[in-house]
Structure 1
């Protein structure tokens, strides 16, 4: 994917995602190419759980979304869905910006395996994940 094409695809994905769960959460697609995706979120109070740290579901949403985008980038024109995901929560997150970086680990016929890390503004590793994505047939 060349830079101009990558930027165009990134802008297109950001636009269509704005009115979905992605946009509701507040995710931002910062960078995308065929090898890496970077997603950020400005963590606010409504993203926290009852003890004042980032809700695990938000961690998981960010990681799943970023890894899903890199899986889509690996197989343009094909639809992919998460088939499994494993998340390790390593450090609490409070208010502030977090960054997720997702990369491809392996691809095969109908499966793409990815990894993602979520880091706080001070570069502390807060969560890491691996996920498998299944390539599905598009319905006509």
Structure 2
């Protein structure tokens, strides 16, 4: 006699649903041709160029852009929760990585790219739906020829620090 494995939840209790759509990510890649990182980030902010799919998936948006600095906004949602009833650390890390990387992107000339080499995150406070909107600010601390160092802060509406990150980015020269 074999028995079927059982789980505590065999059917969703009070299940919710979310649909998701995104724009072709290559539209942004193609729009970047011949444009500086600052120009493309400004166009993403202004809706001229589609935001990357990850921004649509999670629900964050680019709200401020200047050379070496960016700011994203996010309203926490239930679908972001971990098993302990707060926003998952991966959401924090995604926002922090995006802010740090996009800050570096604003410093790049046309035809030059970047990629994150590392991300170090410090989690300081929990985030829930009741926390309200948050902002994530990224700043370039140092930009060299081959690497850049950036930092990012995730802040609540009262300006309290929820998480902090540093990131090293590799600067990728023009494609040959």
TM-score over 0.5 for the pair? yes
TM-score of the pair, normalised by structure 1: 0.87
Indicate the RMSD between aligned Cα atoms, in angstroms. Answer: 2.2
CA contact (8 A) 1:47 1:54 kept: yes
TM-score of the pair, normalised by structure 2: 0.70
Q: Deviations over 1:111-130 (max 9, x none)?
A: 01001100112222110000
Cα 1:120/1:113, change in 2 over 3 Å:
same
Deviates more, 1:83-92 or 1:12-21: 12-21
Name 1:83's counterpart in structure 2.
117
Alignment pair present for 1:26 and 2:62? no
Distance 1:111 1:17 in 2: 27
Distance 1:84 1:118 in 2: 18
After TM superposition, list the pairs within 5 Å mapping 1:8-23 onto structure 2: 9-14=40-45, 15=47, 16-18=49-51, 20-23=53-56
> Structure 1: which 5+ runs fail to align?
none
Decide which structure has the larger Cα Rg and report it: 2
By relative contact order (CA 8 Å, sep 6+), the higher-ranking structure is 1
> Structure 2: which 5+ runs fail to align?
1-35
Runs of 4 or more consecutive aligned structure 1 residues displaced over 2 Å after TM superposition:
5-19, 137-140
Query: How many matched pairs?
Result: 136
| Greater strand proportion | 1
